[in-house]
Structure 1
Amino acid sequence: MTDTPPPLQPPAAAGAPSGALPAGRADYAGFLQQHLASQTFNVVRYELPGESVWLKKAGPAIAAWRYRTLGLLSRLLDVPVLQPVVNPGGRTAIATEVRRLRDLHARGLRVPMVLADAPDGFLMRHLGLPGGNTPSLSDEIEAAARQAPASTLVLWQQGFAALQRVHASGTCLSQAFARNMVRCPDGVIGYIDFEDDPLATLPPALCIVKDALCYAHSTALFLDNAGTLEAARVDWQAWLAQTEPAVRTALERTVQQMRWVGKLPNQRKLGRDTLRLRAMVGLLRPLP
């Protein structure tokens, strides 16, 4: 990633959507406006000479009632961190993501650079190499759990450290699952997907807790399968011991409320979602 966008040129012909650029001096804003009208899918990658870009356009609005069940569950279980962060979709989600990407970039965090934006969509630079695939951290950890189990802990630690860098900068992520983290070509962990803003709904401490739980939920089963869950648990407890009291209290309360999940049998017939929760509770439980 560079901070200054290179001159835009016509898209490469191989393997990517294409279209004529505006006459005269080509620019990202013109490319965005031209393709917003013709792009069928909400998110499409385009290959340009020397770089890859993503165009994300506004999708349909999301009805608020879809979040009521989770909100009710939060109140019934008395677990505030489960309170939903509403993503309204449409133009509001686009504006939120552009604002959050620029804010995170200004804090020195690795996110896709916004090249151009409009009410109905925006253009951002790919975090990986031009023309290349960039696996998510989730894909990396899952592959390591199958092929090189010992390396899962190192990958998990890198993602956990990247999450802590975000919190140290004074903000949070949005959906802090390992699938929304990628390793850039220089090895730095980057972050994607910011259609909602937890800080607009929740206190900062609960935003940190939500991030931590998302990361734990998306990685614990891989650690368990690789036999590295207990080692990661030591790292988790070390972080918990030094974090701010409000975060520690909220996390400990959440773990206490979910302790029954850890008593479920470790059986595939319960489904992958249940196994993920069971492994997460195992990762979060206190050391003896």
Structure 2
Amino acid sequence: MADLQPDYAAFLAQHLPTQSGPLACYRLGDGHVWLWRAGAFGHPLQRRLLALVARLSHTPALRLPPAADVATQRQGLQALDAHGLRAAQVLASHDDGLLLRDPGSGSHTPTTLEDALHAADSDGADALLTLWRQGLALIDAAHAAGLSLRGALASDLRVCADQGLACTGVDGAGANALPLELRQVRDALGYLWSTAGCLHLAGQREAARPLWDAWVASPVRGHAFRTALTQHLSRLSWLRYLPPDSRWGSATYQMRAAYEQATRPRYGEAPAAKPL
């Protein structure tokens, strides 16, 4: 007798009301699924801090986009698939969320890139840098296809069951959207902001800098991107005066760490950070 297929719609209806975060992984049948919740954001305090810095510094690329609705999220997944990028399959849909099949078929439990980077720290420098480079490569592939990833925060990128990476959606190009080069700069700064603290605590900032420099210099990124990135970093130069540790909170320190990761400051390295 053939195995019965799980009732995806019922699973979505059961778990959606109790899920508080924007994205969570579940075991269902013989595989893993992701439940994406519309209108939910992870790390709301950090997002408000980014919005404040964007307003103070006149850096529009630091303003993260609003939460996507179900239709926008579905269109984003379709755009990824249309460009040959790894995308989750929609298994069930609700007005307030989607149930997605994890694109990997391996035995590992899927997780977010943010959690995977923290876990990789205990496995040594090579494991951490390999994973960080994979994140850059994922953003690279999306940018080469003319897409942007809604900020490319490590908490929004997924490590699938086969250890490959996938993103959860792309920006739309609506009337209120930023130009593509600014949306892609937002991906670059968002990725740095959400990972630089982990690199610092692991002592891998210097080892990661050549990887970042090579990524920025890639032919995928044109003159408009590099000009916008340089302008944004220039307006963010005051971040280097923030405390070199987490006394004002981890999100504030991550701002400084991200700026330093991108600019090779001449005033010297920050003192050893306290645990975030």
Query: Is the structural similarity TM-score above 0.5?
Result: yes
Q: Is the 8 A contact 1:47 1:130 kept in 2?
A: no
Q: Deviations over 1:208-239 (max 9, x none)?
A: 10011111011111111222212222222222
Q: Which residue of 2 aligns with 1:81?
A: 61
Q: Structure 1 pair 134/103, CA: closer, same or farther in 2 (3 Å)?
A: same
1:40 is aligned, of 17, 23, 27, to: 17
Q: 1:54 to 1:238 in 2, by over 3 A?
A: closer
- Structure 1 residue aligned with 2:164: 188
Counterparts of 1:144 and 1:256, CA distance in 2: 32
CA contact (8 A) 1:57 1:122 kept: yes
Q: Which runs of 5+ in 2 are unaligned?
A: 41-46, 267-276
Please state how far the C-alpha of 1:286 moved relative to its aligned partner.
4.7
Match of 2:201 among 222, 225, 228: 225
The residue type paired with residue 158 of structure 1 is Q
CA separation of 1:8 and 1:207: change in aligned 2, threshold 3 A: farther
Q: Does 1:97 align with 2:77?
A: no
SS where residue 270 of structure 1 aligns?
Answer: coil
Q: Which residue of 2 aligns with 1:154?
A: 130
Contact 2:152 2:188 in 1 (8 A): yes
CA distance in 1, matches of 2:155, 2:71: 22
Match of 1:270?
A: 248
- 1:274 Cα offset (Å): 1.7
Larger Rg: 1
Letter in 2 for 1:111: A
Query: Structure 1 residues 181 and 32, CA, compared in 2 at 3 Å: closer, same or farther?
Result: same
- The 1:270/1:58 distance shift into structure 2, 3 A limit, reads closer
| 1:53-95 deviation per Cα after TM superposition (whole angstroms, max 9, x unaligned) | 34546559xxxxxx999778645522121344233x6xxx111
Structure 2 CA distance for partners of 1:69 and 1:159, relative to 1, 3 Å: closer
Answering whether residue 245 of structure 2 is matched by residue 250 of structure 1, we say no
Distance 2:165 2:96 in 1: 28
**AA matched with 1:51:** G
* 1:102-251 mapped onto 2 (5 Å cutoff): 102-128=78-104, 133-192=109-168, 194=169, 197=171, 199-200=173-174, 201-242=177-218, 243-251=221-229
Paired with 2:230 and 2:24, the residues of 1 have a C-alpha distance of: 41
SS at 2:166 equivalent: strand
CA drift of 1:276 comes to 0.6
Change (3 A) 1:35 1:277: closer
Structure 1 54/153 Cα, relative in aligned 2: closer, same or farther at 3 Å?
closer
Q: Distance in 1 between matches of 2:171 and 2:112?
A: 21
Deviation by residue 1:88-125 (Cα, 9 ceiling, x = unmatched):
x6xxx111111111111221111211124354543321
Structure 2 CA distance, aligned partners of 1:84 and 1:141? 22
Normalised to the residue count of structure 1, the TM-score between the two structures is: 0.74
1:182/1:191 contact within 8 Å kept: yes
Distance 2:255 2:146 in 1: 28
Partner deviation per Cα, 1:141-197 (whole Å, 9 max, x = no partner): 2223244134322221111111101111121112411222233344421112x4x73
The root-mean-square deviation of aligned C-alpha atoms, in Å, is: 3.3
2:239 to 261, 264, 284: 261
Q: Structure 1's 57 and 154: CA in aligned 2 closer, same or farther, altered over 3 A?
A: closer
Query: Deviation at 1:40?
Result: 2.5
Contact 2:35 2:97 in 1 (8 A): yes
The CA deviation at 1:138 is 1.8
Residue 81 and residue 185 in structure 1: after superposition, are their counterparts in 2 closer, same or farther (change >3 A)? same
Match of 2:33 in 1: 53
State TM-score, norm by structure 2. 0.76
Task: In structure 2, give the amino acid aligned to 1:77.
Answer: S
Structure 1 position 52, deviation (Å):
3.2
In structure 1, list runs of 5 or more residues that go unmatched.
1-6, 12-20, 22-30, 61-66
